[in-house]
Structure 1
Amino acid sequence: MPEGPEIRRAADQIAEVLVDEDITQVRFGLPRLRRYAKLLRGHRVVDVETRGKAMLTHFDHGYSMYSHNQLYGLWRVVDGHKLPKTTRSMRVLLQTASHSAILYSASDISVMPTGELSQHPFLAKIGPDIMNTALIWREVMERLQSPRFSRRELAALYLDQAFLAGNGNYLRSEILHDARIDPRCKPAQLTRGELGRLARSTLTISRRSYDTGGITLNPRLAKRLARTSLKREQRRFYAYGRTDQPCYHCGGIIRRSEANSRGLYYCSVCQNA
């Protein structure tokens, strides 16, 4: 599933071709949504926003389209109106005079008045968006210390969208590794210094992934590995997907375990509480 950085990059790509443009054609692949095509057609997109893993396309007449990629959803932006050949099911098509934005495969889509978005079942329960540039590390630290979250294992907490929206599986492993925190720990067990380090890593890693298109390594290490024979997928992460390989920080071995039915990767040395 795409995580916060990937959804934000997709939103930026869509905004580049849709914002301040009149939507000349609207099509929905799901029958329950087809009645909204006429409602949106002919109106102008004013903003494309993300809240965690959800995308909100806002129109100038006070309506918004909510979409969540779920596991298999994918946005594509193409020049002109000729659609790509694909076996995927088209769910949404938004066209301007010069471009097409297409959402494939996703089914969690709705259209509603912008003023009612806070009542949407998903949006009503999520926490702050990790890609929101106004979010600072002290706010993340406060959430880690709050009674609601402080006694939960970090391995589970860092997948909970009510804690921070946009976190996901690879970010969980990478953030905890960068902060040198054992995934089995609970925030209540950490020192104030460790909490601060974890809060900073939460924002640093997620925003670095956005800036680099999915690489969480620090720039110096990323450049060094780029000069090797490793393929890009093999040099993106500190821990995620690197089972039995040496830790870049301490030389310990990266281990894999299951947490919340998903792979969790950590260093057996520098993340051992």
Structure 2
Amino acid sequence: MPEGPEIRRAADRIADVLVDETIEEVAFAFPELQRFGHLLSGQRVVDIETRGKALLTHFDNDYAIYSHNQLYGVWKIAKRGKTPATNRSLRLALHTATHSALLYSASDISVWARDDLGMHPFLAALGPDLLSAKLIWQDISERLKLQRFAGRSLNALYLDQHFLAGSGNYLRSEILFCAGAHPKRRPRDLGRAELGALARETLKLPRRSYETGGITLPPRLAASLKKTVKGRERRRFFVFGRDGRACYQCGDTILRDSMGSRRIYWCPTCQRQP
């Protein structure tokens, strides 16, 4: 499933071709949404917003299209009249005079009046967006101390969108590794310095991933690995997907386990279980 950084980068690509443009045609694949095609066609897009893994396309008539990629959804941009080569099912098409923004394979799509978005069941329950410019590490540290979060294992907490919106499988493994926190520890088990380190990494890693297109390694390390490691997927992360390989920091073997039915990776030396 795409995580917050990937959705934000998709939003940037969509904004490049839609914002301040008139949408000549809006086409929905789902019958229950097709009535909104007339409501939105001819309107101008004023903003493309992300909230965690959700994307909102705002129109100047105060309506918005909500979409969530879930596991398989993907946005594609094309010149108007050109169809991308794909076997996926088209769910939503937004056409300007020159370009098209096309959403494939997603099933969670709806249309909302802007003033009613606060009643959307997913959006209403979201925690702060990891990529929000207003979010600071002290906010995350205080959130970790809240009673409803402090007693939960970090491996579960860092997939909970009520805690922080936009985190997912790879960010969870990478953040916990960089903070030196074992996945089974709980916020209440951490000292003040450990909480601060975890909060800082929680803020830093998603932003780095957004800026680099999905790489959580520091730029210098990522650049040096290009000389010795073939394949981009093998040099994106510290631990995620690297089970059986040596830790870049200590040389110990990266481990993989299944926690909460989702795979997670960690280093037994850098992230000791107390």
TM category, shorter = over 0.9
Equivalence for 2:184 = 184
> What is the aligned residue count?
273
SS of residue paired to 1:72? coil
Equivalence for 1:214 = 214
TM-score (norm 2): 0.98
Q: Find the aligned partners of 2:205 and 2:37 in 1 and give their Cα distance.
A: 39
Question: Pairwise mapping of residues 1-273 of structure 1 onto structure 2 (< 5 A)?
Answer: 1-273=1-273
Q: Find the aligned partners of 1:85 and 1:242 in 2 and give their Cα distance.
A: 31
Displacement of 1:227 in angstroms is 1.9
SS of residue paired to 1:122? helix
Contact 2:43 2:61 in 1 (8 A): yes
Displacement of 1:4 in angstroms is 0.2
Contact 2:26 2:92 in 1 (8 A): yes
Displacement of 1:135 in angstroms is 0.6
Q: Find the aligned partners of 2:48 and 2:94 in 1 and give their Cα distance.
A: 13
CA displacement 1:68-96 (0-9 Å, x = unmatched): 00000000011222222321111000011
CA displacement 1:188-218 (0-9 Å, x = unmatched): 0000000000001011111100000000001
Q: Find the aligned partners of 1:89 and 1:80 in 2 and give their Cα distance.
A: 18
Q: Find the aligned partners of 2:235 and 2:135 in 1 and give their Cα distance.
A: 28
**Percent of matched pairs sharing the same residue:** 59
Q: Find the aligned partners of 2:228 and 2:17 in 1 and give their Cα distance.
A: 37
Contact 2:229 2:235 in 1 (8 A): no
SS of residue paired to 1:200? helix
SS of residue paired to 2:49? strand
AA matched with 2:130: I
AA matched with 1:76: K
AA matched with 2:23: I
Give 5+ residue unaligned stretches, structure 1: none
Q: Find the aligned partners of 1:218 and 1:84 in 2 and give their Cα distance.
A: 34
Contact 2:78 2:100 in 1 (8 A): yes
Q: Find the aligned partners of 2:89 and 2:200 in 1 and give their Cα distance.
A: 40
SS of residue paired to 2:92? strand
CA displacement 1:133-158 (0-9 Å, x = unmatched): 21110001111011110000000000
CA displacement 1:153-203 (0-9 Å, x = unmatched): 000000000000000000000000011111110000000000000001011
AA matched with 2:145: Q
AA matched with 2:152: R
Contact 1:5 1:207 in 2 (8 A): yes
AA matched with 1:244: G
Q: Following superposition, which runs of at least 4 residues in structure 1 exceed 2 angstroms of deviation?
A: none
Contact 1:81 1:95 in 2 (8 A): no
Contact 1:68 1:108 in 2 (8 A): yes
Q: Find the aligned partners of 2:109 and 2:229 in 1 and give their Cα distance.
A: 42
AA matched with 2:89: S
Contact 1:174 1:239 in 2 (8 A): yes
SS of residue paired to 2:34? helix
CA displacement 1:35-59 (0-9 Å, x = unmatched): 1000000000000000000000000
AA matched with 2:109: I
AA matched with 1:259: M
